[in-house]
A and B are shown apart, each in its own frame.
Chain A
Amino acid sequence: MADVPISTILPAYQATAAPGARSPVEEEVVALFDQFRERLLRYLLGFGLAAPDAEEVIQDVFLSLFLHLQQGKSRDNLRGWLFRVGHNLALKRRQRDRAGSLTELAADQQTAGLVDPAPGPEDQVLASHVQKRLLAAYRALPERDRRCLWLRAEGLNYREIAGVLEISLGAVALSLARSLARMERCAKR
């Protein structure tokens, strides 16, 4: 006979057996997926991950989020949490790929929307002279500065960016100021 009280097992069984029943946490995670998937995907493509790999990282991000919420952990700043976990998982995946130089190149191309070196629609979008210079300046930035600038453009505040990149608030401010100054100089040339 079982040593474990039946009541500890029964809810698990019922949860298993109930068809189509979804917990509020599941629904919340899916709602956040709808809200942030595209933004996260663009951010992750900037790491040079192939699209399927980036999608897989996003799945892992939201499964981690589910566990995070399920365990009753903090709901403060979930946007920052999503980018931070996505950033770390993408770094791990990229390290695993062991193709640093190629992925860096791919990252530049993905970020710029210029995967195809031949003139394409993306190039036409970059019709303005200023924008072409901005692109060149952006691509010349160190990776951390690029991430910083991208995250700020995504609307993350300094604290969130600092959390994602694991740097200080001061470092975020200096990185942004440095990047903007470089881009400004390039645009003026």
Chain B
Amino acid sequence: MPMPWDTHLPDAQLLLALDGELSTRETKKVQRHLAACWKCRARQQELERTITDFARFHQENEIALPSRDGPRALLRARLAQLSRAEVRPRHGWIWAAALAGCVVLFVAIMNVRHPEPYRPAAVAAIPDSRITPGATLMTTRESVCAQPNTNNRAVPVALRRKVFAAYGIAGASPRDYEVDYLITPALGGADDIHNLWPQPYSATVWNAEVKDALEDRLRDMVCDGSLDLTEAQREIAVNWIAAYKKYFHTDRPLTEHYRQ
């Protein structure tokens, strides 16, 4: 950078030096010039005074702003939402598979926790949501309702074994448990280990037949348009007994559904 001693430094150059924006070499040149040139030194001081005035003006005219609490909470909620959306697979082939009705979509359940050391679950009328959160095919109401409401497919033996193992009852007799779908295929439930659980035949009140009745009711409601398919899947996955009570308006299984 040419810097003849017989010319003065432009304001921009003085400002760059003041703001520390010059290279070491350029800075030294400017310093040498300022050491020799009173006019440029005085000009730099004037610029500095103006900067000081403006900085004070900038600081003292800060308008009062509303609290950040509300916007902060809103941001947190949006980030949580975005975070959930972000971790979903975004590859085209996955979505293509989804459109083909082949992607397994897990149903959100409120009480599921992060993975933790597994402890055998107590086998009961309601599955352990850590192991059986429910899984559905990516399907539509039209597709579900176009299919006949037949009995559930038999669960393959290998898959049954996996379900037993997941519940810590690997050695249990198949005669003691029915491996049941949490979300029935008639409502878009998937043939997936996360949608299967060992329902004990010993369950005498809230048993498989009572659940079958709920599934039929929900499917009828979905197909006549009075219930959203996703909502039906969610309710049955979260707590099918609570769903039964809600949709049959009763605290106990109705006689016609109850296997004595």
Q: Within 8 Å CB of B86, what residues of A?
A: 67, 70
Closest chain-A Cβ to B85's Cβ sits at a distance in Å of 9
Question: 14 A-B pairs, CB-CB below 8 angstroms?
Answer: A2-B137, A6-B192, A6-B194, A12-B106, A22-B80, A26-B79, A30-B75, A59-B75, A115-B63, A158-B21, A173-B21, A176-B12, A183-B50, A184-B46
Query: What are the nearest 4 A-B pairs in CB distance?
Result: A13-B106, A2-B104, A17-B112, A177-B11
A134 near B54 with CB under 8 A, answer yes
- Interface stretch (choices B29-37, B65-73, B219-227): B65-73
Chain B residues proximal to chain A, CB less than 8 Å: 10-12, 14-16, 19, 21, 46-47, 49-51, 53-58, 60-63, 65-66, 68, 71-72, 74-76, 78-80, 82-84, 86-89, 94, 97, 100, 102-106, 108-110, 112-115, 133, 135, 137, 190-194
Q: How far is the CA of A150 from the CA of B15 in the complex (A)?
A: 15
Chain A residues proximal to chain B, CB less than 8 Å: 1-4, 6, 8-19, 21-23, 25-26, 29-30, 33-34, 37-38, 41-42, 45, 51, 55, 58-59, 62-63, 66-67, 70, 110-113, 115, 122, 125-126, 130-131, 134-135, 138, 149-150, 152-153, 157-158, 169-170, 173-174, 176-177, 180-181, 183-184, 187
Q: Within 8 Å CB of B97, what residues of A?
A: 3-4
Q: Within 8 Å CB of A138, what residues of B?
A: 54, 57
Q: How far is the CA of A77 from the CA of B34 in the complex (A)?
A: 32
Closest chain-A Cβ to B230's Cβ sits at a distance in Å of 14
Closest chain-B Cβ to A19's Cβ sits at a distance in Å of 7
Q: Tell me the total A-B contact number using a CB cutoff of 8 A.
A: 184
| Given A13-B106, A33-B72, A157-B21, also A180-B50 (CB < 8 A) | yes
For A149, give its contact among B12, B16, B54, B105 (CB under 8 Å): B54
A34 near B113 with CB under 8 A, answer no
Closest chain-B Cβ to A152's Cβ sits at a distance in Å of 8
For B10, give its contact among A8, A37, A112, A177 (CB under 8 Å): A177
Closest chain-A Cβ to B117's Cβ sits at a distance in Å of 15
| Given A37-B71, A59-B75, A183-B50, also A125-B61 (CB < 8 A) | yes
